[in-house]
Structures are given as C-alpha cells and as structure tokens.
C-alpha cells in the first residue's frame, strides 16, 4: 500500500467501544446485506456502528444514497433525536453516455439504478425511522455545506468515485465535520474504484488516515489518533 495509510484490525475500534460501553451488552440493529454492488458488508456495518457508539452523533451525513440501505442502518442506530442527511444525484444530472474507465461505467450504472429504484430501502422502512432521514437530491459538486458547518459527527463518503468528486466530497465533509467527528471513505482498496484509493493514499501524506482490515473503509478521525495508535500497537 502506498502513502502513509495505517492499516488497523477491526478489533481496535471494537476495543474503543468496549472501553466506553461497560454496563450493558453492545448491540445494534443490522440489516441483511443486499446483493447489489457497492453495498456494505456486515463487518463494515459493524465498524460504522462502532463509530456511532463512541461518538454518539446527533447529525450524520452520507454522500451517496443509492438504495438507502446505509441510510436506514445509520438512522436505526443513532440516537432517537438524531438525523441522517443523505445526498444523491438528481435524475436530470445522470446523462453521461461515454466512459474513460471501468469505474466511470460502473458509477454511471449505479446512478441509473439509483434513479430507477428511488432509494427503495428508505421507502420500505417503518415511519419512525424514515422520519430521521432527510434526503437531499443535489449534485455534490454544487452542494452548499453552509447550513451544516461543523455539525456532523459522522460523515460517510460513498458517492461518485472519480477523483474530482472524491476530492470535492472530502473537502465538503471536512467543512461539516464537528469536533470529535469522523470522516469515513467507502471503496478504499477497491479493485474497481481505484481513484478512491489513489486519492486517500495521496491525502494521507499530510493527514492521519486509517484503513480497517478486511473492509473497503478508510477513515480520518482528528484528535483520536493517539488512542487509535496505542490500541493498534497493543493489538499487533
């Protein structure tokens, strides 16, 4: 792996939760992983749950709604008064016909599927969970973060996979990230979406970034690096 991304075991995050949640069993509401491409594995969902248990965010932001599976998972597991903002591209912006790479072709296919399916996981969810989800139909390149500046404790970047979009989404994520919050990228180390890995590796030269083993997740958690590194050293 190039760059300075630090690979940690999943139990590093699990240990962080165990040290904070001591008087009860650690539990969450999980959904069966769907069959379509780009969805979270159970382990990746568990890692998002670990971030939620440590941070207890009131506001969560997701770049890339797709079917809404992750949106529902997040909404089920944040506090009762929490909100999940999930952004996806509107149908009028999905019009590209030619592609320069396999990743661009797959991204286009996913966008078309997203438009056709209309976040079906959200629509099928029970009302009290749907009420915690705010859908934003907007091209992330033109999205304004002004109303959410420094307010989101967990931000999940899983939208467009081209370098231009990843760079823009990352910058906007940092604008919205609250103190103590975590920024998570999906599709890191993917065989298809190589731009994500290249961007994150380059970004890690000047920022502390971690990759969770056995997942396609990388994350940046400002202020938590000493604890993460200490647990990483213990669990080598």
Reply yes or no on whether the pLDDT at 93 is more than 80. no
Mean pLDDT within 86-107: 63
User: Looking at the predicted structure, is the pLDDT value of residue 102 above 70?
Assistant: no
Q: Which residues contact 14 (CB under 8 A, 6 or more apart)?
A: 46, 50
The pLDDT tens digits for 214-232 are 999 999 999 999 999 999 9
Residue-wise pLDDT tens digits, 123-146:
999 999 999 999 999 999 999 999
List residues bridging with 62 in a β-sheet.
Answer: 86, 156
Q: What is the pLDDT of residues 48-68, one digit of tens each?
A: 999 999 999 999 999 999 889
Name, in order, each residue with C-beta under 8 angstroms of 94's C-beta and a sequence gap of 6 or more: 108, 111, 112, 115
pLDDT at 80 over 80: yes
Residue 22 structure tokens: 């001591």
Q: What is the pLDDT of residue 120?
A: 85
For residue 1, pLDDT over 60 is answered with no
Q: Which of 29, 176, 165, 26 is nearest to 96 (CA)?
A: 165
Q: What is the mean pLDDT of the chain?
A: 90
Question: How far, in Å, CA of 11 to CA of 43, rounded?
Answer: 11
CB-CB contact of 217 with 47 (8 Å): yes
Q: Give 108 or 15, the one with higher predicted confidence.
A: 15
CATH of domain 6-16+38-234: 3.40.50.150
pTM of the model: 0.90
pLDDT bin (cut points 50, 70, 90) of residue 119 is confident
pLDDT tens digits along 4-50: 999 999 999 999 999 999 999 999 999 998 887 778 999 999 999 99
Which pLDDT score is estimated for 101? 55
Under the phi-then-psi rule, with left for phi > 0, alpha for psi from -120 to 50, and beta for the rest, what region is 197? Answer: alpha
Mean pLDDT of 184-202: 94
């Amino acid at each position: 792996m190039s760059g300075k991304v630090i690979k940690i075991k999943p139990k590093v995050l699990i240990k962080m939760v165990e040290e904070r949640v001591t008087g009860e069993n650690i539990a969450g509401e999980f959904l069966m992983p769907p069959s379509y491409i780009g969805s979270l594995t159970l382990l990746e969902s568990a890692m998002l749950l670990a971030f939620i248990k440590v941070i207890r965010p009131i506001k969560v932001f997701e770049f890339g709604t797709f079917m809404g599976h992750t949106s529902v998972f997040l909404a089920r597991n944040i506090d009762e008064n929490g909100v999940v903002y999930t952004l996806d591209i509107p149908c009028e912006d999905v019009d590209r016909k030619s592609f320069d790479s396999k990743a661009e072709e797959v991204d286009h296919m996913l966008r078309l599927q997203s438009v056709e399916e209309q976040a079906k996981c959200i629509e099928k969810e029970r009302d009290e969970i749907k009420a915690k989800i705010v859908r934003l139909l907007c091209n992330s390149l033109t999205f304004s973060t002004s109303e959410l500046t420094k307010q989101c404790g967990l931000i999940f970047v899983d939208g467009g996979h081209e370098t231009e979009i990843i760079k823009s989404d990352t910058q906007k994520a940092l604008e919205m990230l609250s103190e103590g919050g975590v920024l998570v990228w999906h599709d890191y180390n993917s065989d298809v979406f190589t731009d994500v890995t290249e961007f994150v590796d380059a970004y890690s030269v000047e920022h502390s970034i971690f990759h969770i083993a056995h997942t396609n997740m990388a994350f940046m958690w400002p202020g938590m690096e000493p604890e993460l590194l200490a647990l990483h050293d213990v669990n080598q």
